[in-house]
Structure 1
Amino acid sequence: MKVTVDHIGGRGDGVAGREGQEIYVPYAAPGDVLDVTLTGKQARIKKILTPSSLRVPPVCRHFTRCGGCALQHVQSSAYARWKQDQLRLALSRRGFGEVEIAAPEISPKASRRRARLQAVGRGAGKAVLGFAERGSHHLVDLEECPVMVAEIVALVPPLRAFLGRILEKRQKMAVEVTRAENGLDLVFETAGDPSLELRMEIAAFAEAQDIARISWKDTTLKQGGYELLLERRRPYVLFGSGAVERRRVLIPPGSFLQATREGEQALVRIMMQVLPESGKLVDIFAGAGTFTVPALERLAVHAVEGSADMVEALSRSIHLQPPGREFSAEQRDLFLRPLLRHELKEYDVAVIDPPRAGAREQVMELAASDIPVIVMISCNPGTFARDARTLVNGGYRMGAVTPVDQFLYSPHLEVVAVFSK
């Protein structure tokens, strides 16, 4: 079947056909003329008959097999426009027709500082380690990755060899890797508890590869946390605006961090541009302190976060280097107990960075408050647009919306905007 690709859809697939009769072609570019095979609305490229002028060679040998990237084959300018278009579409669905969308802040290659790798034992001392193929549980054995930082890429071969020794045939394990400022922080996730012998092997691996910390998560436990297996150095990151010396912040196992340092700095810069010279800020879903720490350069801050481990780590980090401004922290399930409008009265600025599902109830309380400035960050343009509509309906004005792309070559997108009342 011969098709001409019109545009790229929300998942990164090329879209061809008339409205209502679209078909979706992975790894296609606008303007491609293709010979495809069709299964329902999903197509597979048999042959590129006429390549698009926007098509470029991919930068990774695994592209089209590894499910991590969808758009390595499209020119960077077209890719940036597509990211903007996805945000524009999400906003238009909530009635934002004439909103200013800034140029995307796109993180460079080799900048992803955290990754979740999947592994499976193959027996005879072998294991496969990498990412799943698109739409499949089959793993691509990773040989390179242009997206991740060099330290994580360099760990893949020795980690695969180590997992080959410890995993039984068909045994599965997830490995979360975070590049901290003082080394790599690993979490092994699998069913069961590590034996004494395995603990000793993990310690030897950490010593050989100079790993800062390794933790274990038993996936059979419903309320399972992280068991610290070894900590050769307590991992930390550096947070701040760059206007003063950045502050060391300790991170517990499994901490949420912005995916790239460049993306984090873009988000912080936008926040800092609207902070007053004095006053008090509430950081809602504060996490490890990405926004709390730079805000403390100027304002008193109350950080609210659901994870007890992150609240404890952030509080400890702040108290190790007192900022000279008032700081407080609170552990609170913001989905069950959002900050209420009367609790928000004392703040001059609110920063909110919820999970992908957004924070419908919390945003309703913010919309009903009198906080002069709200900075909202989201990793989901759809829920961002929904929550933005709630704020605007509550009397806030939305400024320019900035797409921040920390997930290079993928459909995922971070969003930030400032709301004023």
Structure 2
Amino acid sequence: MAEQVTITRLGAKADGIAESGSGPVFVPYTLPGETVTIERDGQRARLVSVDAPSPERETPFCPYFGECGGCATQHMRHGFYQTWKRDTLVHTLRQARIEAPIEELIDAHGEGRRRVTLHVRFPDRAMHVGYMAARSHHVVEIEFCPIAEPSLKSAAPPIARAIGEHLRAARKPLDIQITAVTTGFDVDVRGHGPLKDKDRLGLIDLAERLDLARLSIHGDVIVERRPPAIVMGRASVVPPAGSFLQATRLGEETLVGFVTEACRGAKRVADLFSGAGPFALRLAEKAEVHAVETEAGAIAALDKAFRATPGLRRITTETRDLFRRPLLTLELNAFDAVVVDPPRAGAEAQAKQLAVSKVPLVVSVSCDAATFARDAAILMGAGFRLERVIPVDQFKHSPHLEVVGILRRDAAKKRR
């Protein structure tokens, strides 16, 4: 049954919140002060109409907004959006009782996302290709994605459809990750499982027709027609299929800028959760680097790029699960600075070892404000000072935020 409510504030995931006798009601695509008509389903509601809009509302630029679950904030004016997003970080740190200077939000969207993941599903006789609807397994079919890099915007959906058509006999749910690289498109398909020989041969022909640089299934390379290279500083890296990358090129460059600036003057740096080397390869222009990463393929790609790039200082590499086997105090004490860039789960075990080490500087890069706060609090409790907190918005139009924290051990509290 439809009802009218007033939105009082925004939640951390960009939903508007209305108060009711039974508690808060979360309404997507709404803004504080708006009167809206909704259809409630427990604590969540579907927006029926905006009856009294906020002056901070604007027309979304994407025709799929409101159906597609990829973006949550296109209805917000830019200034309002930036303030809200920074405030989510302020609130998270305040809840963790962390006092630190939080800088202005940096827009690092650049030309857009350099990787998209399109879903292929067969809920009926037809094949459906697109993004998932918010909080749903329903596929919203799209012809283009306006927040992707120009080369990907309109090219990605036809690639996903062609691959889905080739594999449709199995009618398995597919997730097709398409990355823009310097040599074209790198495509990794998940969900199908092992292929028969005829299907592999067919995909090789399809990659030729689509002019793909590389095509893989679950990280297993079917064909590499050109090395799917990504430039990282002076180096050219060919990461393993489907491996982690920062969301945008400008986002990576922005994060690297803060990391290298903070580490200026350090002679030996540890790069933990290094991936294929976006920080290590730039840091090695001035310092010796020890890069540690769980994924062996990423470490191999980093090592190969280092050896092929003249003019870099030495990079040593180590494949190691830092959740189960963090670097210990004696290992950490060899470094002038440590860079930590973990997944959303954070780096609690590693933070505890850093806290009892003699490392004077930790640069924490995080895609989750809550785990960033938790790990920073561990270090601050051991005498580190959080001297800068920089919010970097490379996940534009979503609630997600990248954070750079620079933690320096107070001279008076350095361990002897």
TM-score in terms of structure 2 length: 0.93
Is 1:315 the counterpart of 2:317 in the alignment?
A: no
- Looking at structure 2, the residues matched to 273 and 385 of structure 1 have their Cα atoms a distance apart, in angstroms, of 22
1:356 corresponds, among 329, 336, 344, to 344
Q: Deviations over 1:3-49 (max 9, x none)?
A: 22122101110012279832111110122111222222212222211
Q: Return the offset for 1:383.
A: 0.4
Hey, what does 1:77 align to over in structure 2? 79
**What is the one-letter code of the residue matched to 1:362?**
Q
- Looking at structure 2, the residues matched to 236 and 308 of structure 1 have their Cα atoms a distance apart, in angstroms, of 18
The residue matched to 1:313 in structure 2 has which SS? helix
Question: Where does the alignment leave 5 or more consecutive residues of structure 2 unmatched?
Answer: 410-416
Q: Deviations over 1:179-205 (max 9, x none)?
A: 112221111112332222222221122
The residue matched to 2:263 in structure 1 has which SS? coil
Q: Return the offset for 1:236.
A: 1.4
Is 1:386 the counterpart of 2:401 in the alignment?
A: no
1:35 corresponds, among 34, 37, 55, to 37
Q: Return the offset for 1:278.
A: 4.7
Alpha carbons of structure 1 residues 374 and 158: separation in structure 2 relative to 1, 3 Å: closer
C-alpha contact 1:101 1:401 (8 A) present in aligned 2: yes
Hey, what does 1:152 align to over in structure 2? 152
C-alpha contact 1:123 1:168 (8 A) present in aligned 2: no
Q: Return the offset for 1:164.
A: 2.3
Q: Return the offset for 1:418.
A: 0.5
TM-score in terms of structure 1 length: 0.92
Hey, what does 2:255 align to over in structure 1? 267
Alpha carbons of structure 1 residues 337 and 326: separation in structure 2 relative to 1, 3 Å: same
Hey, what does 2:331 align to over in structure 1? 343
- Looking at structure 2, the residues matched to 171 and 274 of structure 1 have their Cα atoms a distance apart, in angstroms, of 47
Question: Where does the alignment leave 5 or more consecutive residues of structure 1 unmatched?
Answer: 218-225, 241-245
Q: Which moved more, 1:13-22 or 1:382-391?
A: 13-22
Task: Quote the RMSD (CA, aligned, Å).
Answer: 1.8
Hey, what does 1:202 align to over in structure 2? 203
Alpha carbons of structure 1 residues 312 and 108: separation in structure 2 relative to 1, 3 Å: closer
Q: Return the offset for 1:106.
A: 2.0
- Looking at structure 2, the residues matched to 136 and 344 of structure 1 have their Cα atoms a distance apart, in angstroms, of 44
Hey, what does 1:414 align to over in structure 2? 402
C-alpha contact 2:57 2:75 (8 A) present in aligned 1: yes
Q: Please list, as runs of the form range in 1=range in 2, the aligned pairs for 1:178-217 lying within 5 A after superposition.
A: 178-217=179-218
Q: Return the offset for 1:401.
A: 0.9
Alpha carbons of structure 1 residues 36 and 148: separation in structure 2 relative to 1, 3 Å: same
**What is the one-letter code of the residue matched to 1:75?**
R
- Looking at structure 1, the residues matched to 308 and 34 of structure 2 have their Cα atoms a distance apart, in angstroms, of 57
C-alpha contact 1:123 1:164 (8 A) present in aligned 2: no
Alpha carbons of structure 1 residues 171 and 18: separation in structure 2 relative to 1, 3 Å: closer
Is 1:368 the counterpart of 2:369 in the alignment?
A: no
Q: Size of the alignment, in residue pairs?
A: 406
**What is the one-letter code of the residue matched to 1:239?**
M
Alpha carbons of structure 1 residues 20 and 87: separation in structure 2 relative to 1, 3 Å: farther
- Looking at structure 1, the residues matched to 19 and 376 of structure 2 have their Cα atoms a distance apart, in angstroms, of 33
- Looking at structure 2, the residues matched to 169 and 238 of structure 1 have their Cα atoms a distance apart, in angstroms, of 37
C-alpha contact 1:239 1:249 (8 A) present in aligned 2: yes
Q: Which moved more, 1:357-366 or 1:183-192?
A: 183-192
- Looking at structure 1, the residues matched to 362 and 91 of structure 2 have their Cα atoms a distance apart, in angstroms, of 23
Q: Return the offset for 1:322.
A: 3.6
Alpha carbons of structure 1 residues 47 and 196: separation in structure 2 relative to 1, 3 Å: same
The residue matched to 2:7 in structure 1 has which SS? strand
Q: Deviations over 1:25-81 (max 9, x none)?
A: 111012211122222221222221111101000111111111111111000111111
